[in-house]
Amino acid sequence: MSIPSLEQLQALHPAQQPTYPDRGAVDAAVAKLRQSPPLVFAGECDELKDKIAAVSRGEAFLLAGGDCAETFAEVTADNVRNKLRVLLQMSVVLTYAASVPVVKLGRLAGQYAKPRSSDTETRETPDGPVTLPAYRGDAVNGIEFTPESRIPDPQRLVDVYNASAATLNLVRAFVTGGYADLRQVHTWNNDFVRESPYAQRYELMAGEIERALTFMKAIGADPDEFHRVDFHSSHEALLLDYEHAMTRIDSRTQLPYNVSAHMVWIGERTRQLDGAHVEYFRSIRNPIGCKLGPTATADDALALAARLNPANEPGRLTFITRFGAQKVRDGLPPLVEKVTAEGVQVAWVSDPMHGNTFEASTGYKTRRFDDVLDEIQGFFDVHRALGTVPGGMMVEMTGDDVTEIVGGGEEIDEHGLAHRYESVVDPRLNRVQSLELAFLVAEMLRS
Ligand code: PEP
Ligand code: MN
């Protein structure tokens, strides 16, 4: 299948695109991006597709995590390292519990564009209410609440490329350069368990992992896999100017790939069957995801699968479900049942974040740790009852000690959110909450 032209996609009126003041400047940015080297290689995307096929068969578990929205200011060694460290720590615990490989996917190195439910944002000021264009991610405009900062600036598309290249370069260096060493990661987990008020609950699993590692050492086993890991990048491919410019024909296979990330996904707000995003995603060969929220019907899921994966290729399509803890047990089964009955190949992954967002009494956008956990439990319950595969989870998290989600062992409450709330869009699990979640999901995997 050939790549539709950007003009053809625009004729389909893609949702959630910025309105730029000067289209000429966008064309210049797009032209520059078209000349830029790929950030990932087609062969790496194919490898990830094979791993996701294993996920769909229950022979691997997918852990996807990272910010709701990356920012240019956060492209620092500390930030990327902390996030990666927590993801690696989570993955060791999950690997042990699942007894299968964990496919590690970062929501990073490209996660800079955000769909918004409203085009504008209104704030109270001393001079009365002020309405400005909504912040759509650093890929589009600035978070600062001023008219200048909120004007969409196409130069930011080139900045996304550069920021993604820097991030991915760092990630690749960390995961192959000793930082991902299994014993080292396990030592960090031991530190976490020791500091936790729930130490007793987590100690058992940490102790078992310790004994497994000691045994491996005793028999002299020291495989390569102990010293490096595979890590892949992903983001919501929202801005078609950027994604189209980063789509290339692979010289080896003559097939089109989005070379800005290994995997890209379609958001809940842009999954219209006849929309521009679905049309674009149809044409690329990367493994792709599609969010499915509570309004999605089983027929929607079937129709999306037919359009996005007509060859029914395993690993090609992941449905990322985000129903909310209250709805997952009733809402998810009809989809899974029908998709399975039709023989459609898909990996099922839980996004336990986006159906569980609410505004705290203190005005912060937040989520309850227990709701996040409960949605994952519901996801496991549904799949186990149907005999299908709960393939993994995608969480919004950070490696830092922020206070954006209420609950967890630190018992952050609605007043505590103000202490360190740094997310520019959705609330993230902090370092401790992310690790707690991994240990608690590990218990689900074993039960
Ligand atoms: C997101 O993943 O940050 C997001 C916006 O999700 P959704 O499209 O499911 O609302
Ligand atoms: Mn989000």
- With a 6 Å cutoff on the Cβ, whether 354 touches ligand 1 is yes
**Which pLDDT value is given to residue 447?**
85
* Ligand 1 atom at minimal distance to the Cα of residue 291: 9
> What is the per-residue pLDDT across 209-233, written as a single tens digit (0 to 9) for each?
999 999 999 999 999 989 989 999 9
pLDDT exceeds cutoff 80 at 53: yes
Closest residue to atom 1 of ligand 1, CA basis: 68
Ligand 1 pocket, 316 CB below 6 A? no
Q: Is the pLDDT of residue 197 over 90?
A: no
Helix (H, G, I), strand (E, B) or coil at 341: helix
Is 396 labelled as part of a ligand binding site? yes
Residue 391 confidence (pLDDT): 98
Q: Global pTM? A: 0.98
Start-to-end CA span in the chain (Å):
44
Average pLDDT, stretch 9-23?
Answer: 97
Closest CA to 257 of 265, 266, 246, 267: 246
Q: How far is CA 141 from CA 132, 238, 300, in A?
A: 12, 14, 33
> Rounded to 5 degrees, what are φ and ψ at 64?
-115, 135
Structure tokens that stand for 407 in this block: 């609950």
Q: How does DSSP classify residue 361?
A: T
* Distance (Å, whole) CA 441 – CA 107: 19
Report the nearest atom of ligand 1 relative to the CA of 236. Answer: 2
Instruction: Kindly state if the Cβ of 115 falls inside 6 Å of ligand 1.
Output: yes
408 close to 369: Cβ distance less than 8 angstroms: yes
Kindly state the average pLDDT of the residues 398-414.
96
ipTM for the predicted complex: 0.99
Q: Do residues 371 and 351 touch, judged by C-beta distance below 8 A?
A: no
Q: What is the chain's mean pLDDT, rounded?
A: 97
Amino acid at 30: V
Which range among 55-59, 177-181, 286-290 shows the weakest confidence by mean pLDDT? Answer: 177-181
Is residue 201 pLDDT above 90, yes or no?
A: no
Task: Copy the structure tokens of residue 417.
Answer: 């959110």
1, pLDDT greater than 80 = no
pLDDT band for position 178 (cuts 50, 70, 90): confident
pLDDT for 281 equals 98
% of the chain beyond a pLDDT of 70 = 100
Mean pLDDT value across residues 331-349:
98
- What's the pLDDT score for residue 199? 87
Which ligand number lies closest to the CA of residue 15?
Answer: 1
Cα–Cα distance for residue pair 94/249, rounded to 1 Å: 36
How many other C-beta atoms lie within 10 A of the C-beta of residue 289? 28
**CA distances from residue 229 to 3, 49, 81, 223, 393 in whole angstroms, order as listed:** 33, 17, 14, 12, 19
Q: Residue 320 corresponds to which amino acid?
A: I
* C-beta of 294 in contact with ligand 1 (< 6 A): no
pLDDT for the residue numbered 430 = 97
Locate the DSSP E strands across 91-179.
102-107, 120-125, 128-133
Q: Which two tokens stand for residue 192?
A: 């976490």
| Residue with the two structure tokens 């996304």 | 160
pLDDT band at residue 198 under the 50/70/90 scheme? confident
**pLDDT score, position 177:** 84
Return the half-sphere exposure (C-beta side, CA atoms, 13 A cut-off) of residue 254.
2
Q: How far is CA 1 from CA 259, 371, 378, in A?
A: 17, 42, 38
* Ligand 1 site, residue 136, Cβ cutoff 6 A: no
pLDDT in tens, 227-257: 989 999 999 999 999 999 999 999 999 999 9
Percent of the chain at pLDDT > 90 equals: 97
268 is in an annotated binding site: yes
Question: For the chain, what is the largest distance between any 2 Cα atoms, rounded to a whole number of angstroms?
Answer: 73
Non-local CB neighbours of 195 within 8 Å, separated by 6+ positions: none
